[in-house]
A and B are shown apart, each in its own frame.
Chain A
Amino acid sequence: GENVEQHPSTLSVQEGDSAVIKCTYSDSASNYFPWYKQELGKGSQLIIDIRSNVGEKKDQRIAVTLNKTAKHFSLHITETQPEDSAVYFCRPSSRGGSNYKLTFGKGTLLTVNP
């Protein structure tokens, strides 16, 4: 199965700074790379994703970059705000064949200090 490692496990930044979270995976067949955000007391929600045919995708203050050769992808949040404080999960997967057994990273607790 897929081995997924996510770093760092905790990250504390000042409001306005940037935050970067990295996800490393093992399955070279992985071709879908999403990031989920889990706010306190809530279920996770997809915030951005990227497919293997592109190297970077941006949505306002959030971006995801992909390095397929090195098998890692990263979440970038610029101009962080207190409402960005949450736990973030990565979940690489393959769209081919049986990919229903989904493996998440262990999560990164991001704290944005005002």
Chain B
Amino acid sequence: EAQVTQNPRYLITVTGKKLTVTCSQNMNHEYMSWYRQDPGLGLRQIYYSMNVEVTDKGDVPEGYKVSRKEKRNFPLILESPSPNQTSLYFCASSRSLETSGGPTNTGELFFGEGSRLTVL
């Protein structure tokens, strides 16, 4: 079954304690991305990755790190979590196509089930 798997689904932690949210997809997608969802703000992109070892900042990257050492995994790292990072996090993946203008996203994103993080 094609899926994007995130772990943990729920986590309560304290300020400053490093944590990692894992994301794995089994569809051989090149593109992966992390979003946070907050009331009234919708889905905001944190980081994205076009392929292995290629990552870039989204709209709200402060306080986060990512890595893409393997195609299937795209972990989100909070080195020193703060209460303003309390949120619902989603990982998503998508296929990429090569076009005359360079690699491009096909459009359809496949989302994980979400990780609800609370930082006290």
Asked if B109 is an interface residue, CB under 8 A from chain A, the answer is yes
Asked if B4 and A99 make an inter-chain contact with CB atoms under 8 angstroms apart, the answer reads: no
Q: Is the interface of A mostly helix, strand, loop or mixed?
A: loop
Which B residues contact A (CB, under 8 angstroms)?
Answer: 4, 31, 33, 35, 40-45, 48, 50, 56, 58-59, 90, 92, 99, 101-102, 104-105, 107-109, 111-114
Q: Mark A82-114, 1 if CB is under 8 A from B, else 0.
A: 000000010101011111111111110000000
Q: Is the interface of B mostly helix, strand, loop or mixed?
A: strand
Asked if B102 and A97 make an inter-chain contact with CB atoms under 8 angstroms apart, the answer reads: yes
- Chain A interface residue bracket vs B: 20 to 34
Asked if B90 and A96 make an inter-chain contact with CB atoms under 8 angstroms apart, the answer reads: no
CA distance A32 to B105 in the complex (A): 10
CA distance A36 to B108 in the complex (A): 9
